[in-house]
Amino acid sequence: MVLEEVSAILGGPQGAGVETSIAILARALARIGYGILANREYYSNITGRHSYVHLQISSTRLPRSLSYPVDLLAAMDAETVLTHFTDIARGGVAIYDSSSLNKHLDEIPSIEEATRERVRKACMERGAECSVEGVVKYLEREYGVKLVEVDFSKVLKGLAKTFKLDPRQLSRYASGVLVSSVAVVLDIHEDALSYALGAHFKGRESLIQQNMHIYKLVSAELSRFRGTLRLGKPSIGLDKVLLATGNDVVAMAKVVAGVRYQSYYPITPAADESLLLERYSYVEYEEGSVGPLVVMQTEDEIAAIASAIGASLAGARSSTSTSGPGFDLMVEGLSFAGANEVPVVITYYQRGGPSTGQPVTGFTMFEGACNCL
């Protein structure tokens, strides 16, 4: 069956490479000519908590929204399967690690209690055991979901044998197994995946070779599932391709709008905007140049808004970027700018702050990622 669009969720523990996975897949899909829109949800911790990407892929248009239920669920761990099994559409596809089959809901320490109770209730209502095996068998039986079981350990051991890798380093390649499994199910051409890996790991030839080897191992294991969700030939017909995150688009818009001073304190998920501005602080093109643009990393958010105000008073178009907790610290500076009619732009990336009654850490944040043609 050929589809015009495919919606998917890719998930795993924070720090396991979910962001890298979507970056590589988006490049490969855009290279072929598909339109992509993706949004990542993650926690403010470094490793361990649940992280996932929800994406929409189209062969006929540039997606402007995401949809549920999803056609594909690709999971690196048991928590992703249990958290999102109710999001899979009838006749969809579930990719999961065979070693997670026996994992029960009560054995997952990282899952939030509210989510645990929601999943437990969903299992009870459906008469399914609250384990990975229980819910995937339910999906297969009641929803006709095609189960794609991948032996992550087998693939990674094959990689270690070929490249003589330290077994303790293998966990960092799990995202490569996920990417390869999705590529097989969507029948993404090997050349497109090779291009995406080359662009993402530019100058790191060993990583490109290792990930391509993972793809060959996964392709052999999942050969019968190739093209299970086959997208139609792209017909969008754009001459140029833009692949960017929402942060990147905001940064580009600031450059075009004439911003000449940007201050920031590095805070998730706002820092990426300023990092891009630092990379392109002076841009030359055929008709002229854009810049120079001064980007200043300050010691805190109070200094960030104060320096932006100072730059504006000196005559420069100035701005700063932050998210919830940082914006709380900027309020007095913002009041000063308003009272004195000082023009300054604050890009506020969605995230709860302490003045809203939420803790600074341990909550869910959302980052708009417009990965699109």
268: domain CATH number is 3.40.50.970
Which residue in this structure is represented by tokens 């001459």?
239
Give yes or no: residues 186 and 44 share one domain: yes
Give yes or no: residues 181 and 255 share one domain: no
Give yes or no: residues 208 and 336 share one domain: no
Residue 359 pLDDT more than 80?
no
Residue 306 pLDDT more than 80?
yes
Is position 288 within any domain?
yes
Which of 178, 366, 363, 359 lies closest to 269 in space, CA to CA? 366
Give yes or no: residues 39 and 165 share one domain: yes
292-312 average pLDDT score: 95
Residue where a domain stops, chosen among 183, 199, 231: 231
More confident residue, 244 or 351: 244
Residue 305's alpha-carbon distances to 165, 278, 321, 322, 351, in angstroms, are: 47, 18, 9, 10, 18
Is position 353 within any domain?
yes
Residue where a domain stops, chosen among 175, 198, 231: 231
Domain count, the chain: 2
Give yes or no: residues 58 and 155 share one domain: yes
Give yes or no: residues 224 and 292 share one domain: no
Give yes or no: residues 63 and 123 share one domain: yes
**Confidence label for 310 from pLDDT (cuts 50, 70 and 90):** very high
Give yes or no: residues 312 and 190 share one domain: no
Structural contact between residues 233 and 59, judged by C-beta atoms closer than 8 angstroms: yes
8-34 average pLDDT score: 92
Q: What is the pLDDT of residues 97-130, one digit of tens each?
A: 999 999 999 999 989 899 999 999 999 999 999 9
Is position 227 within any domain?
yes
Is position 291 within any domain?
yes
Residue 362 pLDDT more than 60?
no
Q: Which of 135-139, 221-225, 246-250 has the lowest mean pLDDT?
A: 246-250
Q: What is the pLDDT of residues 126-169, one digit of tens each?
A: 999 999 999 999 999 999 999 999 999 999 999 999 999 988 88
36-59 average pLDDT score: 85
Residue 179 and residue 205: Cα distance in Å, rounded?
Answer: 18
Neighbouring C-alpha atoms within 13 Å toward the C-beta of 120: 12
Residue 305 and residue 336: Cα distance in Å, rounded?
Answer: 10
pLDDT of residue 361: 46
**Confidence label for 72 from pLDDT (cuts 50, 70 and 90):** very high
Residue 368 and residue 243: Cα distance in Å, rounded?
Answer: 14
Residue 372 pLDDT more than 50?
no
12-16 average pLDDT score: 88
41 is in which domain, residue-wise?
A: 2-231
pLDDT of residue 4: 94
Give yes or no: residues 71 and 199 share one domain: yes
Residue 360 pLDDT more than 60?
no
What sign does the dihedral 179-183-189-192 (CA atoms) show?
Answer: negative
